[in-house]
Amino acid sequence: MQKYWHVIKIGFANTLVYRVNFFARAAFSLIPLLATIYLWRAVYRGQSAGVGGYSLAGMTSYYLLVTMVDTLTAVNEDDWQIAADIKDGNISQFLLKPINYLGYRLCLFVSGRMIFTAVSLLPVGLFVFCMRRYVVAPPDGMALGCAALATVLTGLLQFFMSYTMALAAFWLLEVSTLIFIVFAFEYIAGGHLFPLNILPPAVEAALNFTPFPYLLYFPVSVYLGQVKGAALWKGLGMEAGWTLVFYLLALAVWERGIRKYSAVGG
């Protein structure tokens, strides 16, 4: 266990080198968020009722929460780094040392998210403070606790999905196309662009059987009290199930890939 704690400390040190870059990324990512909020304000200006069960405050809170959950859980460059490790032969050292590559990458992911979140606190916190009159609190402590659990599962699901996709580098010279295709699905079906419950019920129900809503939309909906009762426990079960599926898939793809892997030279 001590070796993985050492990896986390290395991740802290490496990530802090880019703290100014992270701060700028967090600050400038608020510009499209601000544009989205003003767009929805224009939509609500001509509406006498809410849209998809959301008031203006609820819709604004939705996008603020999307930004926060994305900051906590999004995979930055981990998939590209994993693919590069395979192509460049850097994983050979992990085959000779008593350290698990999946555990190593997970530690780097966690340390990177912690530093990025800490650096993002100032710009994102100021933005949320300026929008405080639109912020909606969770309906109760249960919603807050379940939202926190769902966010942890979201981070793990995002990581295992990206890790599994990056392992395609064992067979493909370039994995960027695969990553961009999955990202496009995630951006729309994950609720980044709009809340999924404004879609027709049949479409939303079908999407709930895929992993994409659990990458962003589900924890935000739990916080806002949009998912309750049996639907809440079913959603948490689905999210945990998809996380386990991609964890096992990551292990299986790694085992198959290692059999094909070969490295020459030092």
Quick: pLDDT tens for 19-60: 777 778 778 888 888 888 888 888 888 776 677 778 888 888
Would 43 be classed as within a structural domain?
Answer: yes
Separation of alpha carbons 257 and 167, rounded Å: 7
Helix axes 19-28, 101-130, angle to 10 degrees: 50
H/E run at residue 260: helix 229-260
Inform me whether the pLDDT recorded for 95 exceeds 90.
no
What are the Cα distances from residue 201, in Å, to 81, 204, 206, 208, 216? Answer: 39, 5, 9, 11, 19
| Closest C-alpha to 66, from 212, 193, 200 | 193
Q: Which two tokens stand for residue 60?
A: 């604004």
Q: Which two tokens stand for residue 161?
A: 């999905």
Mean of the per-residue pLDDT values of the chain: 87
Q: What is the pLDDT of residue 129?
A: 87
Q: What is the DSSP letter of 169?
A: G
| Closest C-alpha to 194, from 29, 66, 57, 41 | 66
Inform me whether the pLDDT recorded for 183 exceeds 90.
no
Separation of alpha carbons 91 and 78, rounded Å: 14
Separation of alpha carbons 37 and 231, rounded Å: 28
Would 95 be classed as within a structural domain?
Answer: yes
Rounded to an integer, the average pLDDT of 74-103 is 85
Would 67 be classed as within a structural domain?
Answer: yes
Would 62 be classed as within a structural domain?
Answer: yes
Would 266 be classed as within a structural domain?
Answer: no
Domain count, the chain: 1
Quick: pLDDT tens for 121-162: 888 888 888 888 888 889 899 999 999 999 999 999 999 999
Separation of alpha carbons 24 and 119, rounded Å: 9
Q: What is the pLDDT of residue 48?
A: 66
Would 135 be classed as within a structural domain?
Answer: yes
Would 265 be classed as within a structural domain?
Answer: no
Domain span at residue 58 reads: 2-260
Inform me whether the pLDDT recorded for 214 exceeds 90.
yes
Instruction: Give just the sign of the alpha carbon dihedral 177, 120, 156, 131.
Output: negative
Would 7 be classed as within a structural domain?
Answer: yes
